[in-house]
Amino acid sequence: MTKSKKREILDLLYSYNYFGIEYIDSLNYNNNKNKIKFSNTLDELESDASHCSLCDLSKGKDTFNFGIGNKYSNIYIIGLTNNQFNSELIFDSFKEMIKNILFLDIKDIYITNILKCFTKLNIEKLSKSIKLCENYVFNQLEIAQPKLIITLGSAFNHLMKNDENILDISGNSYKYNNINLVPLLEPEFVYKNPSYKDRMENDLKKVKNLLEKR
């Protein structure tokens, strides 16, 4: 067994322990999609997450946000943290790109994050919270079964469990549990680095082509 596989299995077992699960029948070492199952509906899952108290971020429950938009949409956009759009200007800029390139209203898709509670902490200090909270996103996708997943920034690495640099792979097509997935750059990064705006737009055009092929 490789070191990465051992780490993945240990992370999963730690997560089971954190969520109060003391016994499991078995783990398939060859299945890299072992996940913890919570609820059967998106509403139940959101309720579970809203009452979560597993890490320090839960102390800021007034900033909890499970997601925005149409939770039953065929398109899910997934970021890492709730402060991915930390200004109205960034969010408006991203909405305009979605509208002008994909011809979609932001209300017709669903935007969610791996971390459900707002935080200003550096990512380096959030590894424990991410490991716990990502199980909610895994279950969101399992229940919703969207046709397309768009990840923003490093959310791709946590969802796909790899270390690829987003600057090397944005706009490429992947599969997550047989669901089409396209990673994009972080909107905040693009806003602060305008030279990447053309790349973001070109990547969204690839998303549009993928949607047209469905």
* pLDDT tens column, 162-192: 999 999 999 999 999 999 999 999 999 999 9
User: For 75-97, what is the mean pLDDT?
Assistant: 86
Neighbouring C-beta atoms of residue 143, cutoff 10 Å: 17
Are 120 and 48 in contact by the 8 Å Cβ rule? The answer is: no
User: For 73-84, what is the mean pLDDT?
Assistant: 87
Going by C-alpha positions, the residue among 168, 138, 130 that lies closest to residue 54 is 130
Distance CA 71, CA 165 (A): 29
Q: Which two tokens stand for residue 29?
A: 């070492």
- Name the CATH topology of 39-213: Uracil-DNA Glycosylase, subunit E (3.40.470)
pLDDT > 50? residue 44: yes
Domain positions in the chain: 1-34, 39-213
* Stated pTM of the model: 0.80
Amino acid at 139: N
Distance CA 170, CA 44 (A): 33
